[in-house]
A and B are shown apart, each in its own frame.
Chain A
Amino acid sequence: MSARTLYDKLWDAHLVENLDGGSALIYIDRHLLHEVTSPQAFEGLRLAGRRPWRIDANLATPDHNVPTDKAERDGGVEGIVDPVSRLQVQTLDENCRDFSIVEFEINDRRQGIVHVIGPELGATLPGMTVVCGDSHTATHGALGAMAQGIGTSEVEHVLATQCLVQKKMKNMRVQVDGQLQPGVSAKDVVLAVIGKIGTAGGTGHAMEFAGEAIGSLSMEGRMTLCNMAIEAGARVGLVAVDEVTLDYVRGKPYAPVGELWERAAQDWRQLHSDPGAHFDTVVELRAEDIAPQVTWGTSPEMVLPVDSCVPDPAGIEDEGKRRATERALEYMGLEPGQAITDIRPDRVFIGSCTNSRIEDLRAAAEVVRGRQVAEGVKQVLVVPGSGAVKAQAEAEGLDRVFIEAGMEWREPGCSMCLAMNADKLGAGEHCASTSNRNFEGRQGFGGRTHLVSPAMAAAAAVTGHFVDVRTLGPHTAQGDAA
Chain B
Amino acid sequence: MNPFTVHTGLVAPMDRANVDTDMIIPKQFLKSIKRSGFGPNLFDELRYLDEGQPGADCSRRPLNQDFPLNFPRYQGASVLLARENFGCGSSREHAPWALEDFGIRSIIAPSFADIFYNNCFKNGLLPIALDAADVERLFASMHAEEGYRLTVDLERQRVVEPDGRETYFDVDEYRRYRLLNGLDDIGITLEHADAIHRYEAQAREARPWLFDAVAAGEPQEQGV
Contacts and interface: CB of A to CB of B under 8 A. Distances in A.
A3 interface: no
A196 interface: no
A41 B118 CA distance: 16
Interface string B69-90: 0000000000000011100111
A20 B26 CA distance: 37
B133 interface: no
A84 B31 contact: yes
B115 A25 contact: no
A102 B18 CA distance: 37
A254 B28 contact: no
Contacts of B214: 56-59, 102, 123, 254
Interface residues of B, number: 70
Contact of A150 (B55, B91, B186, B212): B91
B59 interface: no
Contacts of A29: 210
A445 B123 CA distance: 28
Contacts of B213: 56, 122-123, 254, 256
A296 B191 CA distance: 50
B143 interface: no
B22 A200 contact: no
B22 A160 contact: no
A235 B89 CA distance: 10
A82 B221 CA distance: 34
Nearest to B190: A161
Interface in A138-152: 149-152
Contacts of B22: 418, 437, 439-442
Contacts of A154: 118, 122
Given A199-B85, A200-B18, 18 more contacts: A19-B174, A20-B174, A22-B172, A25-B189, A88-B31, A109-B222, A110-B222, A120-B223, A127-B210, A134-B90, A135-B90, A151-B115, A152-B35, A153-B119, A153-B122, A161-B190, A253-B222, A388-B224
16 contacts: A21-B174, A36-B30, A64-B30, A84-B55, A123-B214, A137-B91, A153-B119, A160-B186, A253-B219, A254-B219, A327-B16, A391-B224, A392-B224, A420-B30, A439-B89, A440-B22
